[in-house]
Amino acid sequence: MILKHFQLLLLIFLCPLLGKAKLEKATVGAGCFWCVEAIYEQLPGVTDVVSGYAGGPEKNPKYRQVAAGLTGHAEVVQITFDSEKTSFRELIDYFWKTHDVTDGTGVWPDFGPQYRSIILAHNEAQLHTAIASRDAAQSQFDKPIATQITLLEKFYVAEDYHQDFVRFNPNHPYVRNIAYTKLDKLGLKRP
């Protein structure tokens, strides 16, 4: 985790000097953050993905509280991406393919508000882009998209053992049976 943050800081410091990267952030939730992190880490232009909690009122939430549905937060990932290589719109257009966005009760096999489909925009421009992307994607579904789209108030980084969980726990039953199934369905590689 420390190495990951050092690499990101180095990238943030050096890229402007080199004139090569324009880093931005996006925050989304699509069920268990382990799966979402493993998906978005593989997309072009993505430089970092951090698992965390957002969308609820509880300050400094912990995993047990969020998992029990006691905080109003959802499990989310915060994506750092180079907008010279991919756009926020491209990340959100891809979001609609990663899970059943028409189920407002959670994302299979995890249900409850802590596993809801959610896009947390970092500014008004992202908010409008996410809504436009949702409206364009709606024709692909028989039911209305239930994804919550709102402005991000605060992102809380999840505990260290959740970061890069799929990569570091390949034999975990959830990884083998759920995360790998989602990655395979999307045509992505297993870390």
Residue 131 is assigned to a structural domain of this protein: yes
Residue 31 is assigned to a structural domain of this protein: yes
Residue 30 is assigned to a structural domain of this protein: yes
Residue 95 is assigned to a structural domain of this protein: yes
Total domains in the chain come to 1
Tell me if the pTM is above 0.95.
no
**What confidence tens digit (pLDDT) does each residue in 37-64 have?**
999 999 999 999 999 999 999 999 999 9
Tell me the pairing of strands 148-151 and 117-121.
parallel
Q: Is-catalytic flag, 32?
A: yes
Residue 4 is assigned to a structural domain of this protein: no
Q: What SS3 state is found at 156?
A: strand
Residue 3 is assigned to a structural domain of this protein: no
Residue 21: what pLDDT?
A: 78
Categorize the per-residue pLDDT at 175 as very low, low, confident or very high, splitting at 50, 70 and 90: very high
Residue 18: what pLDDT?
A: 52
Q: Active site residue: 21, 28, 32, 118, which one?
A: 32
Residue 1 is assigned to a structural domain of this protein: no
- Whether residue 130 has pLDDT greater than 70: yes
Residue 175 is assigned to a structural domain of this protein: yes
Domain that holds residue 35: 21-185
CATH code at 177? 3.30.1060.10
Closest by Cα among 55, 147, 154 to 98: 147
